[in-house]
Amino acid sequence: MNAPQLTRISTLLQNQEEAILSEWIRAQLGPGVFRSAVPPQSELHEQSKTLLRALRDALRQASSTDITSPEWESVRENLADVSRSQAREGSSPTETATAVLSLKQPLFGRLIDDCKDHPEEISREIRGASELLDKLGLYTMEVHQKGREQLIVRQQEEMQELSTPVVELWRGILALPLIGTLDSQRTQVVMENLLEKIAQTGAPIAIIDITGVPTVDTLVAQHLLKTISAARLMGADCIISGIRPQIAQTIVHLGVALGDVITKATLADAFAIALKRAGLSVTDNRTA
Amino acid sequence: MEKIPIMKISNSLLVTIQVDMNDSLAQELQDDLSDRIVQTRATGVLIEISALDIIDSFIGRMLGNITAISRLLGADTVVVGMRPAVAITLVELGLPLSGIRTALNVERGLAMIQPSMDAKEGDGRGPV
């Protein structure tokens, strides 16, 4: 069934496909559409052609102009492809949307011609077509935005995985070098990694090194304490190392209570304590 | 009706929680354990919870209470074998069980209560 108000466009697309296509491509290549990177003409031709076909088929089959309905699936996919490929070429989302919207030029001229005998229908037809094309233009924007968001989420995940290694310094001594600010989400990952490693290695001591943590405010301290409490529940003691002078001052000024947690200035000092607890000692073999 | 077994090993009691804890089971364990400690004059208690993978605030609090009661009755108490997920949950619930002794597994837990056992038994070795 045809979308009731868009029968004319559907027919136009069917009968004058070639003419509309070439005019649309000319409009896209014209001034004011692609400023940064103009895609190669052959590619543009191919893209526009498939998109126009999909649009034509959708208009013929679809019962409404709701582009989220399943009948519009192929149009949505085409638009998404166009949006993604043009984003890769370096086009801004505005440019992509404008390219889609420039289909209005060839279409509206023809619609007016087509409605010559029924002037009362012109405004209705134009409004319908305009609304539809606006939706399609906005959809390309949305795809662009979603692509960006996915990229950010993926990078965030990668960063989180990279930034929380748990290393075994010695049998039964774990170290957790923290780099970057601790937010609650990262604390969760850090905690899980540390506890898994404790369960796996059976280590009774873990050193949390905060040399790479830029600032320690009350929230970060709270997150550290949480991690330490959780490790203690599994029978492992924690030592905090890598406290820089400024950080020590901040901790005291903020009145952060680290409780009875052992703290050391350097990882080396913390490691020495851990070795001592484990009943091990390091000797210097050079001196006789 | 399920029941949590309490085993006596020389001078200490070993409680292994092998089933999903529910509120009444925890309450019952509290009663049972305190009776047994007095009855057997145990000096050490190990609570093994490695099979426990879900914990809520009530069970968490009960665990704390049970440990505190055992200590009041003069038994050195260690909670052993807590799973990472349970540890995280307890901390997130604001129940870090501070003041409770913990160990990774039964072996280490036994080593922790050994000194008190030796002292009580008076086998000549004395506390380490």
Give the pair of three-digit tokens for residue A60: 């013929």
Chain segment A26-44, per-residue pLDDT in tens: 888 877 776 666 777 788 8
pLDDT under 50: residue ranges of chain B: 122-128
Same domain, A263 and A210: yes
pLDDT of residue A4: 52
What's the confidence (pLDDT) of residue A288? 59
Inter-residue contact A133 to A104 (CB < 8 Å): yes
Q: Confirm whether A162 is domain-assigned.
A: no
End-to-end CA distance of chain B: 42
* Rounded Cα distance, A123 and A119, in Å: 8
CATH of the domain at A97: 1.10.490
A222 with A142, same domain?
no
Q: What are the beta bridge partners of residue B76?
A: B44
Nearest-CB residue to B87 (from A202, A204, A230): A230
Mean pLDDT by 10 residues, chain A (288 residues): 63 84 85 71 85 86 80 87 82 84 86 81 84 89 90 85 84 91 83 92 93 85 89 93 89 83 92 92 83
Look up residue A269 and give its two tokens.
């000092």
Instruction: Answer whether B103 touches A (CB < 8 Å).
Output: yes
The beta-carbon neighbor of B87 closest among A188, A204, A234 is A234
Domain shared by A153 and A216, yes or no: no
Question: Is the distance from CB of A204 to CB of A235 less than 8 angstroms?
Answer: yes
Chain A CA closest to residue B83: A234
CB contact under 8 A, A202 and B104: yes
Say yes or no: A12 and A130 in one domain.
Answer: yes
- The answer to whether residue A231 sits within a structural domain is yes
Q: Say what the pTM is.
A: 0.63
Strands of the sheet with A237-241, listed across from one edge: A167-170, A173-179, A205-212, A237-241, A262-263
In a domain, A249, yes or no: yes
| Closest listed residue to residue B66, CA positions, set B16, B30, B17 | B30
Q: Are A246 and B95 in contact (CB under 8 A)?
A: no
Tell me, yes or no, whether A137 lies in a domain: yes
Query: Does A193 reside within a domain?
Result: yes
A149 plus A221 within the same structural domain: no
Are residues A199 and A275 both part of a single domain?
yes
Q: Which amino acid, one-letter code, is at B26?
A: A
pLDDT for B1 = 62
Q: Domain count of chain A?
A: 2
Domain shared by A22 and A90, yes or no: yes
Give one DSSP letter per residue of A146-202, joined into a string.
HHHHHHHHHHHHHHHHHT---EEEETTEEEEEEES---HHHHHHHHHHHHHHHHHH-
User: Do both A15 and A95 map to the same domain?
Assistant: yes
Q: Is residue A44 part of a domain?
A: yes
| Same-domain pairing of A69 and A152 | yes
In a domain, A131, yes or no: yes
Q: Which domain holds residue A57?
A: 3-157
Give the residue among A225, A218, A228, A219 at the shortest CA–CA distance from A258: A225
